[in-house]
Amino acid sequence: MDLLHKDCGIFEIYGYKLSETTRDACWCPIMASVLPLYRYAAQEELLQFPGNWKYGSYSKSLITRGRTYLPWALKRYQLKRHQNLTVVKRYVNSLRELESEFDVIVNCSGLGASDICKDPFVIPIRGQVMKVEAPSVDKFYLAGRSYIIPSGHGVATLGGTHQFGYDTTDINPTDSRGIYERCTTLLPELKSSRILWEWAGLRPYRHVARVEAERVGKLKVVHNYGHGGSGLTTGPGTSKYAVKQLEQIMLSNSKL
């Protein structure tokens, strides 16, 4: 892993995606067109992994460590916009509550959109992972339901689960055993790794991310939510579109 910025938690990373079934399961034409390195894995490479992996790809990409990036992004914005920025944390049950305070709202409420917007298409997808001490792991491995991703400082993330509709963040021992067994089978050297901690979170999934403008009472609202587990990946693109929606609202007298 090569750190691109000492503070923001974005790294260059290399690794494999493996499949036991079809070549298409480990190959994405769009990624092949944009990544600087993206190729099929040779049979000799596949043989290094226990199991019946018939197909694979090898690529160079970026990884963003969310726990580092999000505080960094907020701090960077505060430094650049300090005179006009106020950060307030509070519960909001409805966008209508904000009518008396704001004219325009950008709604990035994630799972909260289920209640705030009464959006029945927003559902949680539970993900559970474990962090292990693994200084020798310098590549990522995606294989079926399992993944092993180096996350800096000699630590690797092992996962995972993809449970639609589950809304608990409690650690499930059965999931823990499954993650550990699958990942250590794929990369046996992990059996000697010390487990540091486990974590479970909820991905704010929607069948199609909602990026659109809407009138809510007196408020003009631009929605930008429903990215599932791909917020750090797709967020920059949807945010650009949301900003265009915002500019149209601000520069026009549109009643939406």
- Both structure tokens of 166: 């589950």
Query: 222-242 pLDDT, tens per residue?
Result: 999 999 999 999 999 999 999
- Choice between 103 and 152, residue whose per-residue pLDDT is larger: 103
208 sits in the region (left: phi over 0; alpha: psi -120 to 50; else beta) called beta
> What pLDDT was estimated at residue 6?
64
pLDDT exceeds cutoff 90 at 151: no
Measured in degrees and rounded to the nearest 5, phi and psi for residue 136 equal -85, -10
Residue labelled with tokens 């999934």? 205
In our burial notation (b when 16+ CB lie closer than 10 A, e otherwise), range 14-51 reads: ebbbbbeeeeebbbeeeeeeeeeebeebeeeebeebee
Q: Which residue type is seen at 33?
A: S
Measured in degrees and rounded to the nearest 5, phi and psi for residue 90 equal -165, 160
Nearest 5°: the CA angle 156, 158, 164 is 140
Query: 197-218 pLDDT, tens per residue?
Result: 999 999 999 999 999 999 999 8
Query: 91-146 pLDDT, tens per residue?
Result: 999 999 999 999 999 999 999 999 999 999 999 999 999 999 999 999 999 998 89
Distance of CA 189 to the CA centre of its chain: 27
User: What's the mean per-residue pLDDT of the chain?
Assistant: 92
User: Domain 124-136+158-204 belongs to what topology?
Assistant: D-Amino Acid Oxidase; Chain A, domain 2 (3.30.9)
pLDDT exceeds cutoff 70 at 47: yes
Query: 78-88 pLDDT, tens per residue?
Result: 887 666 778 88
pLDDT exceeds cutoff 60 at 167: yes
pLDDT exceeds cutoff 60 at 254: no
Q: Please, which residues bridge with residue 219 across strands?
A: 216
pLDDT exceeds cutoff 90 at 58: yes
Domain ranges of the chain: 1-87, 124-136+158-204
54 within 8 A of 94, measured Cβ to Cβ: no
Could you please report the per-residue DSSP string of 32-68? HHHSSEEEEPPHHHHTTSSS---EEEEEEEEEE-HHH
| CA–CA gap between residue 65 and residue 45 (Å, rounded) | 28
In a 10 Å sphere around its CB, with 0-12 CB exposed, 13-18 middle and 19+ buried, how is residue 226 labelled?
buried
pLDDT exceeds cutoff 90 at 2: no
